[in-house]
């Protein structure tokens, strides 16, 4: 039930007058009142026996109440999920809600997941990283057919080991007019990324500049976010003009616009991460946003979103309360039925706790020592990948690995001679990027790296396919958010992995965030809520739709 805290001053902030259409709630129905997030809620009466009402007219001030008026003790404005973040994010990207699903690589952020997000009024990014241009183009074909004018985006991942692939993907996006990308794992700006942004600039009918190609950039460091929020370097623009990738006019326009209007502060997430806490990172990004907006005077305001650890209503509410323009989720979507992962992986994720994660060498940046956060429960991948990096640092090539150690790797990890793995790797890169083969044939150390990356890359594909016999080698990108979600879902219909659907999870997080925001506001006004009213348990999609449709 709800009551005023004994220590709170039981004084009125004004008076409330009933009129037609008033709904009154008994204390035992107070959750239902809080759930009506699209309508204002008033607490009226006296501190000993307050009532919650929707409707009527409230007036504020110290003037005495008139006939039929009751003391107004607290009030809640409407808090629809659409308004939790920045409405500009929704209008610019064609979404109803400030919520996006991130582009999990190797198609884990699947076309089916993107479709589910779009049809629920949210934004989804296809996980193009690690896929061939042909696979990516097939996904473009499908989403254009199935979604039409509904919003969606594609991933553009930084590929320092394969710069030619990054160029091919950008060329594909430009040719197919993919208008929105999520830029991830970037260590710095690259020519292909700047080309994508600048090549989409054109003169608008009103004489202004229209930016058709939008970038939502993920960053874990302020110094990188600064580059995304700034115009591209002049040297890059000159180089793109010289190569005829963009026009001189587009370069001039690009010099006045940020590379990305939206930057996602990526905290302790699955996959590529710096393991930084959102509570310290997000305020820094918001301050940077304000600094650069004031310096450059952009016509379209900069925005900061939040990612990493967003898997419960409380986490989403906290991110929005701190000023996030939108939230972006990842790990929690991988456990949903629409993801491009396997049932075997979804079962592992549904059992994960917050501590069941570890850092392991990344396949795409192996030689640089970059790591990704992965699931360690039910798999030995993190330990085995770390062993490969240890061997890589010590050996100058395949031939330099001590025989006993080489035999162990071939038996336990590769299950075939390293020489035959190289032949397969060589054939793969002959088609994907022949320059890698040329370099490997000159440099035994690079050949060793490519062989080890064969295992690291396939470990993710084995997981996505649910490859029998390779369970201990599954590479599953995962952050602590997965464990937090499992704790929240325990004992509910969302506990079994087969019941987890992306739209249901997303709607719970959004409505739950709105509910908890309202509950917190009442607490701050002196209303003491029972502990169960300060939690938002999982609701089924029909329940959520009934609430939202009823009040729309």
Q: Are residues 190 and 323 in the same domain?
A: yes
Residue 487 counted as domain residue: no
Question: Does residue 485 fall inside a structural domain?
Answer: no
Give the global pTM: 0.92
Determine the 3-state secondary structure of 507 from DSSP.
helix
Per-residue pLDDT of the chain (552 residues; tens, 9 = 90+): 444 443 333 578 899 988 876 767 666 688 888 999 999 999 888 777 778 888 888 888 888 878 888 889 999 999 999 999 999 999 999 999 999 999 999 999 999 999 999 999 999 999 999 999 999 999 999 999 999 999 999 999 998 888 889 999 999 999 999 999 999 999 999 999 999 999 999 998 888 899 999 999 999 999 999 999 999 999 999 999 999 999 999 999 999 999 999 999 999 998 888 889 999 999 999 999 999 999 999 999 999 999 999 999 999 999 999 999 999 999 999 999 999 999 999 999 999 999 999 999 999 889 999 999 999 999 999 999 999 999 999 999 999 999 999 999 999 999 999 999 999 999 999 988 899 999 999 999 999 999 999 999 999 999 999 999 999 999 999 999 999 999 999 999 999 999 999 999 999 999 999 999 999 999 999 888 889 999 999 999 999 988 876 444
Residues forming a β-bridge with 99: 327
Q: Are 336 and 354 contained in the same domain?
A: no
d(CA 414, CA 199): 43
The C-alpha atoms of residue 106 and residue 477 are separated, in whole angstroms, by 11
Report the CATH number that the domain containing residue 314 is assigned in CATH. 3.20.20.70
**Does 72 share its domain with 114?**
no
Which residue segment(s) compose the domain that 384 sits in? 350-473
Helix (H, G, I), strand (E, B) or coil at 359: strand
Looking at the structure, tell me whether residues 234 and 183 fall in a common domain: yes
For residues 90 and 189, membership in a common domain is answered with: yes
In this structure, the number of other CB atoms found within 10 A of the CB of residue 42 comes to 24
For the beta sheet containing 371-375, the strands, ordered from the edge strand earlier in sequence to the opposite edge, are 271-272, 371-375, 357-361
Buried b / exposed e across 188-216, counting CB within 10 Å, b at 16+?
ebbbbbbbbbbbbbeeeeeeebebebbbb
109 domain-assigned? yes
Copy the structure tokens of residue 123. Answer: 């934004």
- Kindly tell me the burial class for residue 293, based on how many C-beta atoms sit within 10 Å of its own C-beta (0-12, 13-18, 19 or more): middle
Tell me the pLDDT tens digit for each residue of 485-496: 999 999 999 999
Please say which residue of 341, 363, 398 terminates a domain: 341
Same domain, 146 and 7: no
The closest alpha carbon to 128, from 92, 102, 163, 94, belongs to 102
Q: Are residues 325 and 355 in the same domain?
A: no
Q: Are residues 372 and 467 in the same domain?
A: yes
Q: Is residue 377 part of a domain?
A: yes
Q: Answer yes or no: is 260 within a domain.
A: yes
Tokens of 67: 């006939």
Using DSSP, state whether 73 is helix, strand or coil.
Answer: strand
Same domain? 397 vs 459: yes
Q: What is the distance, to the nearest Å, from the Cα of residue 24 to the centroid of all Cα atoms in its chain?
A: 39
Q: Give the whole-angstrom CA distance, residue 306 versus residue 326.
A: 6
Do 293 and 429 belong to one domain? no
Q: Does any domain span residue 478?
A: no
Q: Where are the beta strands (DSSP E) in 103-239?
A: 123-126, 153-157, 180-184, 201-203, 209-211, 214-219
Tokens of 261: 């209007």
In this structure, the answer to whether residues 156 and 205 fall within a common structural domain is yes
Domain boundary among 433, 452, 473: 473
Q: Which residues contact 546 (CB under 8 A, 6 or more apart)?
A: none
| Spatial separation of the C-alpha atoms in residues 163 and 364, rounded to whole Å | 11
Does residue 486 fall inside a structural domain? no
Token pair 């006939």 is found at: 67
CB 536 within 8 A of CB 503: no
Q: Say if residues 160 and 192 touch (Cβ distance below 8 Å).
A: no
User: Structural domain tally of the chain?
Assistant: 3
Task: Report the sign of the C-alpha dihedral through residues 89, 93, 94, 100, in that order.
Answer: negative
Angle between helices 444-465 and 418-432 (to 10 degrees): 80
């Amino acid at each position: 039930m709800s009551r005023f805290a004994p220590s709170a001053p039981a004084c009125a902030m004004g008076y409330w007058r009933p009129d037609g259409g008033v709904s009154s709630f008994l204390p035992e129905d107070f959750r239902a009142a809080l759930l009506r997030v699209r309508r204002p809620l008033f607490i009226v009466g006296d501190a000993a026996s307050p009532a919650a009402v929707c409707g009527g007219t409230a007036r504020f001030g110290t003037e005495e109440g008139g006939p039929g008026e009751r003391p107004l003790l607290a009030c809640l404005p409407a808090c629809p999920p659409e308004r939790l973040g920045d409405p500009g994010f929704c209008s610019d990207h064609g979404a109803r809600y400030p919520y996006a699903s991130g582009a999990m690589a190797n198609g884990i952020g699947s076309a089916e997941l993107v479709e589910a997000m779009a049809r629920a009024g949210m934004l989804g990014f296809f996980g193009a990283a690690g896929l061939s241009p042909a696979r990516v183009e097939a996904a473009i074909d499908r989403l254009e057919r199935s979604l039409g004018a509904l919003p969606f985006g594609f991933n553009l991942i930084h590929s320092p080991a394969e710069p030619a692939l990054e160029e091919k993907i950008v060329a594909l996006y430009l040719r197919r007019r993919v208008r929105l990308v999520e830029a991830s794992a970037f260590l710095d700006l690259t020519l292909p990324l700047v080309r994508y942004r600048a090549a989409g600039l054109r003169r608008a009918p009103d004489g202004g500049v229209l930016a058709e190609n939008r970038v939502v950039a993920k960053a874990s460091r302020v110094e990188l976010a600064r580059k995304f929020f700034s115009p591209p370097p002049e040297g890059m623009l000159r180089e793109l003009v010289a190569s005829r990738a963009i026009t001189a006019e587009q370069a001039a326009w690009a010099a006045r616009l940020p590379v990305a209007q939206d930057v996602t502060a990526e905290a302790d997430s699955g996959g590529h991460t710096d393991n930084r806490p959102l509570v310290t990172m997000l305020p820094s990004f918001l301050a940077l946003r304000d600094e650069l907006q004031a310096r450059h005077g952009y016509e379209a305001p900069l925005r900061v979103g939040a990612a990493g650890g967003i898997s419960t209503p409380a986490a989403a509410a906290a991110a929005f309360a701190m000023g996030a323009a939108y939230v972006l989720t990842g790990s929690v979507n991988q456990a949903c039925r629409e993801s491009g992962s396997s049932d075997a992986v979804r079962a592992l994720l549904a059992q994960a706790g917050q501590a069941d994660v570890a850092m392991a060498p990344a396949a795409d940046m192996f030689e640089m020592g970059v790591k990704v956060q992965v699931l360690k429960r039910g798999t030995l991948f993190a330990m085995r990948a770390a062993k490969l990096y240890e061997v890589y640092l010590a050996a100058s090539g395949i031939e330099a690995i001590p025989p006993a150690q080489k035999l162990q790797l071939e038996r336990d990890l590769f299950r075939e001679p390293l020489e035959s793995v190289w032949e397969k790797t060589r054939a793969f890169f002959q088609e994907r990027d022949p320059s890698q083969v040329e370099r490997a044939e000159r440099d035994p150390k690079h050949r060793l790296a490519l062989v080890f990356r064969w295992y690291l890359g396939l470990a993710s594909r084995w997981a996505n396919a649910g490859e029998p016999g390779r369970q201990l080698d599954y590479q599953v990108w995962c952050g602590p958010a997965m464990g937090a979600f499992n704790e929240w879902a325990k004992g509910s219909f969302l506990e079994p992995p087969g019941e987890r659907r992306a739209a249901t999870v997303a709607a719970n997080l959004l409505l739950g965030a709105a509910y908890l925001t309202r509950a917190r506001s009442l607490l701050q006004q002196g209303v003491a809520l029972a502990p169960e009213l300060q939690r938002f348990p999982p609701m089924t999609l029909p329940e959520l739709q009934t609430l939202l449709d009823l009040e729309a």
